[in-house]
Amino acid sequence: MNSFARFLIFAGLILSLAATASVYAEEPENFSSDAAQGTGEPPTVPHKIPDGATSESCLGCHKTGTNGAMETSHPERLDCTQCHVQGEVSAPAIPHKVRGAIAAKTCNKCHLTGIKGAPKTKHPERTQCGQCHERAKQA
């Protein structure tokens, strides 16, 4: 094999390695889910996932935040249940009276820092607390 052919093969290998390295060096998408942040836990769905659910059925509410659903940050993904798993059917109820909207502006006054013994929020970036948490039934 002549030296020019060896040079072409060597150059091709170097370019292939460089292209592969650049693919793996790209920043991941910035998802706010626990799984994307590397906690090792898959993101859970706080409602029943119907048998045979498809990405279209999930996006019916989650593409735009319809019916109080959290708006997805990645609607181009095609298989929601590949990452998202069934969790508790509902988020913890709010065991105290709430004045005003159930939203971060109200809730974070205590839950952001854990003031007055309130449990600290595990997801301070979320702003619509009432999408998952509801007022407890008052007896």
- Condensed to tens digits (0 to 9), the pLDDT of residues 89-110 reads 666 778 888 777 777 788 888 8
pLDDT the model gives residue 3: 86
Predicted model pTM:
0.40
Instruction: Give the range among 22-26, 70-74, 116-120 with minimum mean pLDDT.
Output: 22-26
Cβ(81)–Cβ(97) under 8 Å?
A: no
Q: What percent of the chain stands above pLDDT 90? A: 0
Token pair for residue 108? 């974070």
Per the listing, tokens 């008052």 go with: 138
Phi, psi of 95 (to 5 degrees): -85, 10
**CA dihedral in degrees (106, 109, 110, 113; nearest 10)?**
140
- Would the pLDDT of 62 be above 80? yes
Taking the C-alpha atoms of residue 62 and residue 11, their distance in angstroms, rounded to an integer, is: 47
